[in-house]
Amino acid sequence: MGNAIFQPSHFAAVVLFALFASTVFGITQRETPPRMIRYGIYCFVLFVASAIVLSWVMYFIAR
Amino acid sequence: MATEENKSDAAGSGTQSESQKGWVYLPLIAGWLVPGGGHFLLRKWGRGALLAAVILGMFVMGLTMQGKVYAGVHDILDILGLAGDLGNGLPYLLARMMGVGADQVLVTTADYGTRFIVVAGLLNVIAAVDAHNLRTGRKS
């Protein structure tokens, strides 16, 4: 591991988080591969979209 | 209990497949200790490889972000963090033994890294339970 430091932006971290979590959700929550892929994409879109919406909500609350 | 589950599996599908043999909780424990290990035991190679790549990737990424690896417990949030970290199984123990990961959160990305490590553990628990469900026949 050494001194390698990975410093993503907040949005990149959200996208990576969404990618990893939705992959596991897709595999574990559905039974057939086509439904796994569909559910994984659905979860990914929901993760990222809700992060964007909540970011704008917090932006307007902070103003 | 395990014997009854085995009988119901056999009754439902006619004959037990090769992957359905052995102790019923073995895929659950293997899946917890080694991400994807439960699925490998059940010969679900593709799912196992994908789960292993995703969970280990998230864990390693958390470490490279200088995420905190929970070791001691001081308050309730630390206990929850430690519980999540323990879900990683052997990778968590290896990280503790090798002394990787940060003791304290010093930079912003370290906070993300800490969450990545905890969530990787929680996802690993979900994957291990999925392997158990496959083993018992609750999921096909």
Q: ipTM, 2 decimals?
A: 0.90
> Would you say residue A2 lies in a domain?
no
> Would you say residue A23 lies in a domain?
yes
A17 touches chain B (CB under 8 A): yes
Chain A residues within an 8 Å CB radius of B47:
27
Tally of domains within chain A? 1
CB-nearest partner of A31 from B66, B123, B139: B139
Mean pLDDT, range B2-13, rounded to an integer: 44
Whether B36 and B48 have beta carbons less than 8 Å apart is answered as yes
Cα three-residue angle B44-B50-B56, rounded to 5 degrees: 120
The per-residue pLDDT for B17 is: 63
Which tokens belong to A29?
């929550």
pTM of structure: 0.86
Residues in chain B: 140
| pLDDT grade for B107, boundaries at 50, 70 and 90 | confident
The per-residue pLDDT for A13 is: 94
> Would you say residue A39 lies in a domain?
yes
* Nearest residue to B110 (alpha-carbon basis) of B69, B57, B56: B69
The per-residue pLDDT for B11 is: 41
A21 touches chain B (CB under 8 A): yes
Interchain contact, B116 vs A17, CB within 8 Å: yes
The residue segments making up the domain with residue A54 are 10-62
> Would you say residue A5 lies in a domain?
no
